[in-house]
Amino acid sequence: MSGASKTSMERLEEKLCTRFEQAVPKRVNSDSHFVWRGRNLTADCLLQIGSVQYLIRFEQGAIKECRRGLPLMCSWDFAVRGSARAWEELWQDPPKAGWHDIGALIKRGEMTMEGKLHPLIANLQYFKDMMELPRKGGSK
């Protein structure tokens, strides 16, 4: 699809995906304390931004792979899916009340957690902090 024919939603998703890709793997893996906090997390996560899916492979707290699009017949342990608006609002600095955390977004139906949630919940603070990395500044 050419850039000119992209819808506003596709443009928003592309912008959000760029922010995510620039922030997350690099900032997690370059922060040794961040990696140490996730030392017990080894799992495959499906993270979805609007209609775009990512496969994130965590290995002892480091992100070993972060690829856009899932390979065929690919399994994952847990999924976090959010609407484009959910991610856009979550990464505002500061975010608006009710849009400021994955918990708030789940409650308002803009985000879901699916699959085997134990590894996600057991590493919730690590995961929340990772997902908020694209938000620059703020209290995090």
Partner 1 sequence: MAKFEPIKGGYVNLTIDGIEYRVYYEEAGKGIPFLLQHTAGAEGIQYRCLLNDADVTKNFRCIAYDLPFHGKSLPPLEHDWWKERYLLTLDFLMKFQDAFIKAFELKRPAYMGSSMGGHLAADLAYHCPEKYCALIGLEGSLVTAPQHSRHSANDAYFEMYDNPFIGKEALGGSMDMIIAVQTPERRRKEITWCYNKSGPGVFAGDINYYNHDHDLTGKADRIDVGKCMLYLLTGSYDPATKPSDTKMLADQVKGSYFKEMENLGHFPVTENYDLFKTFLMPVLEDILKREKGKR
Q: Binder to partner 1 among 39, 98, 114, 136 (CB under 8 A)?
A: 98
Tell me the closest approach of the beta carbon of residue 131 to partner 1, in angstroms: 11
Is 59 one of the binding residues for partner 1 (CB under 8 A)? no
Q: Tokens for 117?
A: 């949630």
CB 66 within 8 A of CB 56: yes
Q: Binder to partner 1 among 65, 94, 114, 136 (CB under 8 A)?
A: 94
Tell me the closest approach of the beta carbon of residue 39 to partner 1, in angstroms: 12
HSE-up (13 A, CA, CB side) for residue 55? 14
Is 114 one of the binding residues for partner 1 (CB under 8 A)? no
Q: Tokens for 43?
A: 């799992």
Q: H or E stretch including 80? A: strand 78-82
Q: Tokens for 73?
A: 């017949």
Is 81 one of the binding residues for partner 1 (CB under 8 A)? no
Is 52 one of the binding residues for partner 1 (CB under 8 A)? no
